[in-house]
Amino acid sequence: MNVPPDREQILHLVLTDPQAATDLILDLYLTVQKQAEIIEKQALKIVELEARIENLEAQLKQNSRNSSRPPSSDFFKPKPKSLRKKSGKKPGGQKNHPGKTLKLVEDPDEIVSHPVSTCECGHSLQAIEPFKIVRRQEFDIPPPSKSQ
């Protein structure tokens, strides 16, 4: 590492060897000039890069609403906001609300029984009493009326 000379060393150099002192001063001046040129180039490059960053950020802010780009090119689509106001109730049926369930008919038109006689492994299930019976009922949609 180059240690700079102190004041007394410079004074001694000027008094004993004026030519070397002049060369030192010129060398320092040229070094400062080179550093000034480098700083100026860096400042110009910084201005150029800042302009490029600004341009790229402007491109990122463009979407289909504020430019001629198609909606499919949007990166982040804003979520649609509902205009409905919250009621404060939980979703689904509310307490003490009478249900409107279709009741099973006492006398159905047709009864279809699906007995299970063998297991998947092949054993007979005839002697085993069923532990659960499932009853279901289908309701047909009435034919449409011709009054339009």
Q: Residue 43 in contact with residue 35, Cβ under 8 Å? A: no
Q: Which amino acid is at 144?
A: P
Neighbour count for residue 12 (Cβ, 10 Å): 13
- CB of 124 closer than 8 Å to CB of 118: yes
Q: Which residue has the higher pLDDT, 138 or 39?
A: 39
Per-domain residue ranges of the chain:
7-61
CB 10, CB 21: distance < 8 Å? yes
Please tell me the distance from the alpha carbon of residue 26 to that of residue 19, in angstroms, as a whole number: 11
Please, what is the average pLDDT of the chain? 86
pTM above 0.75, yes or no: no
Rounded Cα gap, residues 124 and 64, in angstroms: 68
Taking 70 as the threshold, does the pLDDT of residue 39 lie above it?
A: yes
Q: At what angle do helices 7-16 and 18-61 cross, to 10 degrees?
A: 130
| Cα torsion 100, 102, 104, 105: sign | positive
CB 128 within 8 A of CB 97: no
Q: What is the pLDDT of residues 51-107, one digit of tens each?
A: 999 999 988 888 888 888 888 888 777 788 888 888 888 888 888 888 888 888 888
